[in-house]
Each structure stands twice: as C-alpha cells, then as structure tokens.
Amino acid sequence: MKPIKISEAVVRRLPIYLRFLNELSLSNIQTVSSQDLGEKLDLNPAQIRKDLAYFGEFGRKGVGYNVDYLIEKIRQILKLDKTMNVVLVGTGNLGRALCNYSMYIKDNMKIVAVFDADPSKSGTLLNHLVVQPMQELADSVRQLDISVGIITVPASEAQKVADEFVAAGIRGILNFAPVVLKTSPGVRIHNADFTAELLSLAYYMDHHEALNEGDGER
C-alpha cells in the first residue's frame, strides 16, 4: 500500500485526537461526534471531519465516530501499532522528568536506554534503567533496535549527540535543546521547544481579542 501524504498540521493534530479518544475509551464511551471533539479540543468540527476523512470515511451521520475504531485507525496511521524503542541522552532534570513522563505513553514508544556524557552518572539508576556511558551508545542502539533518540543535554552539546545518534543509525530525533540542529538526509528532527511555545504565547495575549474568532490550531 502506498502511504498517503498528510500535511504536518494534520499529523500534529492526530496525537491530540488520540489522547482524548483514549480518555473516552477508558471511560467506556463508545461513540463521539466531531462536535464533541471540537468542543473539547478547541478545534472547528468541520476541520476535524476533514482531518479524519483523510483516512477514509468512518464517521456515521447522527451517530458519530466509533471511539475504539478511530483509536485503532489513528494508531495505524501514525505507525504506533508496532513498538518503537527510544534512547534518551542527558539525565539532568529534564531527562529525568521525561523518563518518568514516558510512562504515560502506551507501550508503543518506550525509553529503553539512557545515556549521559558525565562518567559519574554511569551506573546510576533512572526509572529502572541503568545510565550508560556514551561509548556504549552505538552498541545499545543496534542491540535494542532503537530508532528514535531524545536529546536533553545543554545546547552546546546537542549537535554532538545528534551526530552520534545519526552515526548509530537513529532516524528520528526529538530535540529539547534550545538550538537549531543540522539535519542529515533521511533523518527527521522534531524540536520540542519550550521557549518557542512560550514566546509565541506572548503574541496571542496582546492580540487575543482580535483572534477569538480565529482558527486556534492547538
């Protein structure tokens, strides 16, 4: 099957749908309308219907979407129906927070190894994982079939870690360091950028009145 090409904006909304649908499923709610989804997620219901129509029709007029079917479908589209192993480098406060945080994610993306450049951290325990020295990175990536790397080191160290990830065969990077990383062909980098989120918030606070009728994306 040829993969459908979906816009970035839609791909970024799918995990948000997924989270809310998971909440509904846990509460044994079996159907949901685009209206309910829109209200809860602060999105236009027409936008939601359009997003979901990308993947074939599975809403029924007057009934809504079947929650579990939609969950299954979105997971398939996001390729979350198979497990993806994740490595994290940088065991400061942020790295530690993420290791705990990762337990919220259903099993499909899982931090299975943690590394730190500081030799004094090696051998310590972090959420049941033993912190390893950087020299062991490539071996662990191969042995554990790791495809995604998370960077939680200071900005000055981030490019070095990214290069080591790429050399080890990692194809997806989630970068938390406040720096623009040089990308390599075939490697996808997402920036989880606190400051950008914070700074763009400022814009809306002053303009908010003018934007209430707007197209709030998140």
Q: Which run of H or E residues covers position 215?
A: none
Is 95 assigned to a binding site? yes
- Measured from the CB atom, is 60 or 163 closer to its own copies? 163
- Beta pairing, strands 64-66 & 59-60: antiparallel
The reply on whether position 147 binds its own copies by CB under 8 A is: yes
Site for its own copies in 156-215 (CB under 8 A): 171-172, 174, 178-180, 183, 185-186, 188-212, 214-215
Which is nearer to its own copies, 30 or 100 (by Cβ)?
A: 100
Structure tokens at 44: 């236009």
Which is it for strands 172-175 and 125-126: parallel, antiparallel or unpaired?
Answer: unpaired
Show Cβ contacts of residue 194 under 8 Å, excluding neighbours closer than 6 positions: 176, 178
Name residues contacting its own copies, limited to 15-54 (CB under 8 A): 15-16, 18-20, 23, 40-42
Considering only residues 65-124, where is the footprint of its own copies by CB under 8 A? 77-80, 84, 86, 92-94, 96-98, 100-101, 104-105, 108-109
Closest distance of CB 200 from its own copies, Å? 5
91 is in an annotated binding site: yes
- Of the pair 60, 203, the CB lying nearest its own copies is at 203
Chain centroid to Cα 89, Å, comes to: 17
Give the nearer residue to its own copies in terms of CB position, either 50 or 171.
Answer: 171
59 assigned to a ligand binding site: no
| Cα dihedral value 57, 63, 68, 73, nearest 10 | 10
Other CB atoms within a 10 A radius of the CB of residue 120 amount to 8
Residue 145, SS3 per DSSP: coil
> Known binding site for NAD(+): residues?
90-95
Binding residues: 90-95
